[in-house]
Amino acid sequence: MKLPEYHVRLPRLDPEGFKRVLRERRASYEPRFLSGVWRFEELLPRLPSEAIVTLAEGNVPLYESPRGARYAGCDALAYLHLGMNPSGSFKDLGMTVAVSAAKAAGARGVACASTGNTASSMAAYASRAGLNAYALVPRGRVSTSKLAQIYDYGAEVVEVDGSFDDAFARLDGTNDGAVTIVNSVNPYRLEGQKCAAFALLEARGWRVPDWVFVPGGNLGNSAAIGKGFREALELGFIDRLPRLAVVQAAGAAPFARAWSARADLVPVVPQTSASAIAVGSPKSWRKALYEVDASGGVVIAVDDDAIDDAKAAIGAEGIGCEPASAAALAGARALRDESVLRPDADVVAVLTGHTLKDPDAILRIHASRPRYEARAL
């Protein structure tokens, strides 16, 4: 099913007045304001309040990380930990809006193709909404924790031979419109996920970082976060854009290649141990490209070993994340090595998934590497 582009007409707001309203909402117990998405309701698609399905998503910490800064070689680095969401990943910010919109439209069910996190999130929100949920996942390539979550939240699982891209093709090809697709091709998803940018700025007292690093797979999140920063600028909440750095795994980096060559994206067969971002034909690459270019950003690729190393460093600081998320820190270090990132840079790395999303990866990484605290960090 092809969804129409969704455009939210931004209201005229007094920036300082609205920031005050946001502070009041954070302190309130009104159920929808307990959500770090619906707190920004003026900036979201209008939906009837009885359709809104929320799990109090979006209220995630911004952790200052002096050790991460040393690791990347810059003055200041903080993690926006979107893995601290109800289903353990950033997907919840988009899913609350996509599932609420599906409910408002009278959908009978929702479906997605997924490397695991989209499906876990969809399963949770669909069950809360009383909708059926169908998850198409690549057989043998989804972590045990994510599969367990999908079953636990009551979705139907269809295992497809091949990669995420094969699962997506199957979903697109067989859907006769009876269910709403809630992958990030669904524009409501991006509207919710853009709130990560608002939350990041809000947590910093609206001080704009120099760079924001985001791991890239299907590229919905990079597109959404870039959109959020642009809207914050348009609304007068901030006076410049942070530069957006999208980081892909080297074995699944068609966007990095297209960006460097200034050419159209050529799909690849994805091959990376960061299973969440094993996507060879990202659907939102044009939207993400627009945001990278608008912000003066970059797209880079880092290999699995660099991702594992960064993941061990994040874990050794008591923060933790899943492998795909660690690409953000690995990317900052790589950009510093290339002298694109200046030593005095103020950086935010977006951690997209919780450390318990992929315990097998943790055991694999630590079986082959000295304990991290033994190293000088």
Residues that bind ligand F0G (CB under 6 A): 89, 114-118, 164, 184, 215-222, 276-277, 279, 322, 324-325, 352-353
Q: Which is nearer to ligand F0G, 119 or 235 (CB)?
A: 119
- Cβ at position 42, least distance to ligand F0G in Å: 24
Cβ neighbour number for residue 176 with a 10 Å cutoff: 6
- Cβ at position 14, least distance to ligand F0G in Å: 32
- Cβ at position 360, least distance to ligand F0G in Å: 15
| Partners of residue 137 on adjacent β-strands | 159
| Cα atoms found within 13 Å of the Cα of residue 106, Cβ hemisphere only | 0
CA dihedral in degrees (41, 42, 48, 54; nearest 10)? -10
347 Cβ neighbours under 8 A, 6+ residues apart: 69, 72, 74, 76, 77, 78, 209, 210, 211, 212, 213, 332, 341
Q: Which is nearer to ligand F0G, 74 or 279 (CB)?
A: 279
Q: Which is nearer to ligand F0G, 308 or 322 (CB)?
A: 322
- Cβ at position 279, least distance to ligand F0G in Å: 6
User: Which strand (E) or helix (H) includes residue 229?
Assistant: helix 220-234
Q: Which is nearer to ligand F0G, 54 or 118 (CB)?
A: 118
Per the CB < 8 A criterion, the answer to whether 107 and 51 are in contact is: no
- Cβ at position 36, least distance to ligand F0G in Å: 18
**β-strands 62-64, 76-81 pairing:** antiparallel
Is 350 strand, coil or helix? strand
Question: How far apart (Å, rounded) are the C-alpha atoms in residues 104 and 319?
Answer: 37
**β-strands 243-249, 62-64 pairing:** unpaired
Q: Which is nearer to ligand F0G, 100 or 118 (CB)?
A: 118
- Cβ at position 133, least distance to ligand F0G in Å: 14
**β-strands 346-351, 76-81 pairing:** parallel
Q: Which is nearer to ligand F0G, 38 or 164 (CB)?
A: 164
- Cβ at position 154, least distance to ligand F0G in Å: 18
